[in-house]
Structure 1
Amino acid sequence: MYEPYPVPELAREHKKFRYSSLWTFAKQDLRLLAFFLLIAACVGFGTGYLWSCLLLAFAVFFALQLRSLFLVNEWISNRPYDVPPNLDGIWGALLFNVYRAQRQERIVQAEMVGLIDRAQSSLVALAEAVVLIDEMHQIEWWNPAAEKLLGIQSLDRGRNILTILRQPGFIEYFNHIDQAPDGLKMKSSAFEDHYVQIKMTRFGGESRLLVAYDVTRMHNLEQMRKDFVDNISHELRTPLTVLSGYIETFTDQEDLNPRWKRAFDQMQAQTKRMNALVNDLLLLSRLENDKKVAKNQIVEMPGLMNQLFDDAQAYNVDYGHTLNLDIDSHCDLIGSDIELASAFSNLITNAIKYTPKGGTITIGWHDDHDHGYFTVEDTGIGIDPRHLPRLTERFYRVDSARSRQTGGTGLGLAIVKHVLMQHNAYLEIESHENRGSVFKVVFPKDRLFKADET
C-alpha cells in the first residue's frame, strides 16, 4: 500500500505566504539595485571613481541574483518537498508559486492514492472475482476471489488470460464480447462440477475488466427445473392422450344425454388446453436444450409469410377480423424455418385472440438494409405499459380470467423470446390500452439474405 507524501502547512512553514502581484516582488529587487547604485554613487563622487563604483554595485547585485539562482536550483534538485529557502524579490515569488503548486499536487496525489487504496480494498473484499487484463491480453491484477473461482495463481501475473482459461466458449466470448451482452456461463477451471458466470467490459482501448461469480446453485436449480418440466410433460402426454380419446368417443355418441354432453364438451375443451400446455412446455424445453443446433437454413420469407397468412385466415373464421399482409422486403432470413414459423404464429394468434371481433390485424415483413422487421399490428384491447417488461416471462398473464377464456397457456411469448434469442433477434412491443398493439421482431443484418448476393 502506498504512503502519501507528507503535506506541510504552508501558512505556518513559509513566511512568504501571501498573494501579491509579480510587480510587488520585482519592486524589491529594483529597490535593492537602487540602494546599491546610490551607495556606489556616493562613494564614487567621494573617491573620484564613479563608474568603477557603479560597475561594482551592478556586480554585487548580479552576484546576489546568482546566489538566489543557486539556492533555487539546489532546492528543486535536492529538496523539492521541503520548505523552500526564504528569498526576496522575483526568486522568492518563483519559489512561492512552485511550492504552492507542488503542495496542491501532493494533496491531490494523496487523495488519489487514498481513493485507489480504498478501491483495491473493496475489490479484495468482494466475493466476485475481478481481473484486470491489459491490451496485450495479459493479466495485470486480480483479487483473491479470482484465485478461488478461476484458478489464477501468483505466477500468472503477466500471462495471457487465454492460456489460463482455455475453454473454447471463453475464447469465443473473449474475441466477441459485443455479441454476448449477458456474458458467459461456463464450468469452473478450479472446481469440478462448479459453474461461473463471466462478464467482461472494455475500457481504455482494448483493456478489459473481467468479473466472475459462482452460479453453481443457480445452475443446479435451473437444471432441476428443466428436468422436472421435461419429465412431467412427457409423463402427462400418455394419460392426456387416453383421456382425450375416451372423451371424444363418448362425445360422438348420438344418444348421449344433453347434460352429459355438456360435461363431456367441457372436459374435452380442458383436455385440449392441457395438451396445448404440455406441447408448449415440451417445445420450450427443446428450445432450451437445442441452443447449439445450427440455425443456418435460408428461410424464404414470401413463402413463409403467405403460409402464416393462410393459417391466420383459417384461425380467424370465428373472429371475423380483417387480415392484411404487407411485404415490402426482398430479403430472406437465415435461421430455423420451424422455430421462426412457431414464433411468428404465436404472435399472430395472440393478436387474433385478444382483438375484439371485427378488428384489423396487419402482418408485415420489412427491412431497412441494416435490420429486418417482422411485425404484427392489431386494433385490440391493448396492454397497460407496466406489464410490458414481464410479458415474455413464463406463465405471466395480464389478465388470468381473459387468458382462461381464450385458452392461452401463458408460454407463447416465452417461446417467442427463446426462438428470437437463438436467432440474435429481439422483440419490441408498443401498446396502448383500448387502441391496439404492435409487436415487432428485429433481426440483425447478418441474419438477412438476398438472392442476388450469391
Structure 2
Amino acid sequence: MNNNWRGALVRRLLLLVGGCLLLGLLTGAYAWILAIGLATYLCWHLGQLLRLHRWLKEQPDEPPPDGYGLWGEVFDSIYHLQRRNEKARGRLQAVIDRVQESTAALKDAVIMLDSQGNLEWWNRAAETLLGLKTPQDSGQSISNLVRDPRFKEYFDKGSYQEPLDLPSPVNGNRRLQFHITQYGNREHLMLVRDVTRIHQLEQMRKDFVANVSHELRTPLTVISGYLETLLDNVEAVNPRWLRPLQQMQQQGGRMQNLLNDLLLLAKLEATDYPSDNHPVAIDLLLLSIKNDAQALSGDRGHRISLEADAHLKLKGSEAELRSAFSNLVFNAVKYTPDEGQIHIRWWADEQGAHLAVQDSGLGIEAKHLPRLTERFYRVDSSRASNTGGTGLGLAIVKHVLLRHRGRLEISSRLGKGSTFTCHFPGSQMVRRPQ
C-alpha cells in the first residue's frame, strides 16, 4: 500500500472517531457511540474479508469483486497479480506446447519415468516403437510393458553408461536401442532409437566375415598340407626354396589362427547367452591354464603364481571361459620380459566374482587402454608380429565376458606392468560346499 492510502486510512479513522465524539457530545454517551462506531467499522472490514474468502474459494479464476477504499486497493492489486500470472502461465504453456510439438516430431521415443520406473509422459514415437497407449498406460511400470528380462536387469542395475539393444515388444523384426539418463530426484529419461538398419548392416558384416573365414579354411588347409609335405621331404627340394617354404608355412599358420579366431568371434556373436550354461570350477580351469602358460614360457623363466578360491564356481560355458582366461594369461606370458612375474587371482566379494591377471611387463600407455578390445587394434604392430598375435584375443575376451554378464577392466603403467581384471555379478556365482 502506498503512502497516499496510508494517509487516507488515517483520515478515515480520524473522521470516524471525530464523528463519534461529536455525536457523543450531542447525546452524552461518548463510550457507547465510540464503541458502536468502531464495531460498525470492524464489521464492514469483516464483510469485505468474507467477500475475499468467498471469491478465493468459489471463483478464483474470475476477476475479484469490486471494492472501494482500502479493500478496493487490495482487490485491484489482486486483479493485476492475477493478470500477470495469467500471462506467465500463457508463456509457460507456449513453451510446453513447443517442447511437446518438437518431441512429437522426433522419430526417437522420449519417455519420462519416475524414481520407481513408472510412466509419467511419452511422445508419439513411443507409441509406435513400444506400443504405449494413452491414457491407460500412464502410471504403469515400464517393466510391465517391456518384458524382456535383459531390460529389467539393465534398469534395476542403475548403471546406464552403455546402451541396451533389444527387439521391439511390438515388432520382433525391429531392433531398438535404449538409453537411460537419471535426473532430478532419481527420475529417469529414457530415449529409444530404432537401430534396425544399423543392426542389419552389422549382421551383414558378421555374416560376411563368418562366410569368408569358413570358405578360406579349405584352400588354406590344402596349401598348408602341400607345404608340410614339401618340408617333410626337404632333401628332395632345391635348397634355395627351403627358407621360402618355411616362411610360407609360418604365415599359413598365422592365417589359420586368424581364421579360427574370426570363426570363434562369429560364433560368440550369434547368440546372447552360452548354450552350455552350468557351474564351472574356475580354480581347476586356471590350474590347467597356468600349466599351459608355464609350458609356453619354456626357458624364458617366467614366475607364474596362482591364487584361487577353491569353493567358488562360475555359471557359464567352460570352453568359452577357457578361451577368454587363457587369452589373458598367454598374453601376459608373451608380453612380459624373461624371468618376469605373472600372478593369477580368482576371488569373490560383495560386488561379485573377479579374476585378475597381473604381470610385470612393459606396460601400456593410457591412450591405448580404451581401444584394446577393438578388433585388430595393436599397441605396437611390430611387437604383435613378433609374438604371432592376431589382434583378436581381447575382442574374444570382451565378447565372452558380455555373454557371461561380465566386464573387463584394464589398468597399466609404462614400465610397471599391467592388470587385466574380469568382473562378474553375484548372480553368476555358485558356492561349492565346504
TM range, smaller chain: 0.7 to 0.9
Structure 1 stretches of 5 or more lacking a match? 1-15
Amino acid paired to 1:62:
L
Amino acid paired to 2:18:
L
| Residues 54/147 of structure 1: CA separation in 2 closer, same or farther (3 Å cut) | closer
| Residues 232/129 of structure 1: CA separation in 2 closer, same or farther (3 Å cut) | same
Q: Which residue of 2 aligns with 1:448?
A: 429
Amino acid paired to 1:337:
E
Does 2:330 align with 1:352? no
Does 2:101 align with 1:130? no
Aligned-partner Cα distance in 1 for 2:283–2:127: 54
Q: Which residue of 1 aligns with 2:149?
A: 172
Does 2:356 align with 1:375? yes
Aligned-partner Cα distance in 2 for 1:195–1:329: 42
Q: What is the DSSP-based 3-state SS (H/G/I as helix, E as strand, rest coil) of the residue aligned with 2:433?
A: helix
Match 1:223 to one of 199, 203, 211: 203
Shift of 1:227: 1.2
Where does 1:283-432 land on structure 2 (aligned, <5 Å)? 283-317=264-298, 319-328=300-309, 330-432=311-413
Q: Which is further off, 276-285 or 369-378?
A: 369-378
Amino acid paired to 1:413:
L
Question: Deviation string for 1:274-321 (max 9, x for gaps)?
Answer: 000000011111111133433532211221111011000011115332
Indicate if the aligned counterparts of 1:173 and 1:184 stay in contact, CA closer than 8 A.
no
Q: What is the DSSP-based 3-state SS (H/G/I as helix, E as strand, rest coil) of the residue aligned with 1:382?
A: coil
Structure 2 stretches of 5 or more lacking a match? none
Question: Deviation string for 1:101-159 (max 9, x for gaps)?
Answer: 75675566445433322321221121113356789999775434345545667797669
Q: Which is further off, 415-424 or 285-294?
A: 285-294
Where does 1:32-431 land on structure 2 (aligned, <5 Å)? 32-73=12-53, 75-76=55-56, 77-78=58-59, 82=63, 88=69, 106=86, 109-131=89-111, 142-150=122-130, 170-173=147-150, 175-176=152-153, 177-178=155-156, 182-186=163-167, 189=170, 193-199=173-179, 211-255=191-235, 256-317=237-298, 319-328=300-309, 330-431=311-412
| Residues 368/227 of structure 1: CA separation in 2 closer, same or farther (3 Å cut) | same
Aligned residues: 428
Indicate if the aligned counterparts of 2:279 and 2:316 stay in contact, CA closer than 8 A.
yes
Aligned-partner Cα distance in 1 for 2:305–2:136: 63
Indicate if the aligned counterparts of 1:138 and 1:157 stay in contact, CA closer than 8 A.
no
Q: Which is further off, 427-436 or 350-359?
A: 350-359
Q: Which residue of 2 aligns with 1:10?
A: none
Q: TM-score, normalised by structure 1?
A: 0.80
Aligned-partner Cα distance in 2 for 1:433–1:100: 71
Question: CA-atom RMSD, angstroms?
Answer: 3.8
| Residues 362/75 of structure 1: CA separation in 2 closer, same or farther (3 Å cut) | same
Aligned-partner Cα distance in 2 for 1:274–1:97: 87
Shift of 1:377: 0.6
Aligned-partner Cα distance in 2 for 1:259–1:87: 120
Aligned-partner Cα distance in 1 for 2:104–2:35: 70
Amino acid paired to 2:280:
V
Aligned-partner Cα distance in 1 for 2:22–2:143: 86
Amino acid paired to 2:230:
F
Aligned-partner Cα distance in 1 for 2:91–2:187: 25
Indicate if the aligned counterparts of 1:150 and 1:188 stay in contact, CA closer than 8 A.
yes
